[in-house]
Amino acid sequence: MNHLYRNVLEEAGIAREESDRRIEESFQAIFYGPDRFYSEAGPDMAYIMDTGNLDVRTEGMSYGMMMCVQLDRKAEFDRLWKWARTYMYMERGVNRGYFAWSVNMDGVPNATGPAPDGEEYFAMALFFASHRWGDGEGIFCYSREARAILHACLHQEDEGPGRNMWDRENHLIRFVPEQDITDPSYHLPHFYELFARYADEEDRPFWSEAAEASRAFLQKACHPVTGLSAEYSTYEGEPFAGLQNVFGRHDWHYSDAYRTVANIAMDYGWFGRGRGETWQVEIAEKIRRFFLETAAENPRGIYAVDGTFLEGQALHPVAITATLAESAIASSAPLAGGALRCVREFWETPLRRGDRRYYDNCLYLFALLALSGNYRIW
């Protein structure tokens, strides 16, 4: 078995034919079904709408592109990329070379700044597209576009008035360029390891160091008992509450933070397992134990990173279910215990319906791809 692409669903007793069918059904539901949030715009463009906020975000557009390249859906990939490049890309100003993080469905920007998770997913999806389908012309010269994005992320401070998306001193991704804090769920060391192979040659050493810096950061950002991370944190991994008056409260384990354990598991699957690393497995086990045991009476509540219950219920409960299941990639084989329970619960959970379905169902499809061994390096 190729250690990069463990089929966890098969270990849970789910036949490959069943998982392949579920993946195709989920893709069709998201892109073409009555509850879809992918919409075609004209003859050659399309966007993915955040159904909870009624806008188009670089998060969703880059997620959609990653889904498409993993599933060999080039037509949909190109439509999404052309829409993003046409309406979200900023060609001038302090953030030139970045993408406006929120845009209306008619293409009018809601923001003049970027969200760095969009840029890193755009770049990775474009590299994979180049390797899977080959480079085309113009904006469809995927590898050139990916390298340009990463160049902008690291060289704004050299070439203009803007700020880099990564701190060049500590190699950590910023929450937004103008803030010297970070978002633990933005840390994708498994992507950075690949950027170190594919980016401009002069920047490859930086990306190698960024991968290791993010791995060290994640071990500090995840609570030593619960495994939970905050939405925003300091560079030392401490929950950060300083932006509450601007963006709401983000020092607890909430929507963004659900992705952190999934990213840790993906890093383990692609790279850590082959190296014999264990920290990813330990964090994944802690967070599964927290939700299955400590928080068993209210497993979809809102919690501080130390496990203290806060008022209210999770805005994205299916996202929690999906990412807990995806954490099973970072577990011992054959699948057993809490990892097996999380995978079975996920398999028995349908796609979410209603206004908040966008975020949950994106993470749902990513979990399906990862758990079936179909989230791959191209």
Residues with a known catalytic role: 59, 256
Q: Cα separation of 253 and 274, whole Å? A: 30
Peptide bond into 334 cis (omega under 30): yes
Starting from the edge strand earliest in sequence, which strands make up the sheet with 38-41, in order?
A: 38-41, 45-50, 55-57, 102-103
Q: Is 188 exposed, middle or buried (0-12, 13-18, 19+ CB in 10 A)?
A: buried
DSSP 106: T
Q: Cα separation of 206 and 172, whole Å? A: 10
Percentages helix, strand, coil for the chain, rounded to the nearest 5? 55, 10, 40
DSSP 292: I
Which token pair is 371? 């758990």
Query: Of the candidates 122, 72, 74, 131, which has an alpha carbon nearest to the alpha carbon of residue 374?
Result: 72
> Three-state SS across 187-228?
CCHHHHHHHHHHCCHHHHHHHHHHHHHHHHHHHHHCCCCCCC
CB 175, CB 184: distance < 8 Å: no
Query: Of the candidates 262, 179, 269, 165, which has an alpha carbon nearest to the alpha carbon of residue 222?
Result: 262
Q: Cα separation of 249 and 359, whole Å? A: 19
Query: How far out from the chain centre does Cα 333 lie?
Result: 25
Burial 84-117 (b: 16+ CB within 10 A, else e): bbebbbbeeeebebbbbbbbeeeeebebebbbbb
**Axis-axis angle for helices 189-198, 142-159 (nearest 10):** 100
β 102-103/301-303 pair status: unpaired
Return the residue matching tokens 């993946």: 23
Q: Cα separation of 203 and 151, whole Å? A: 8
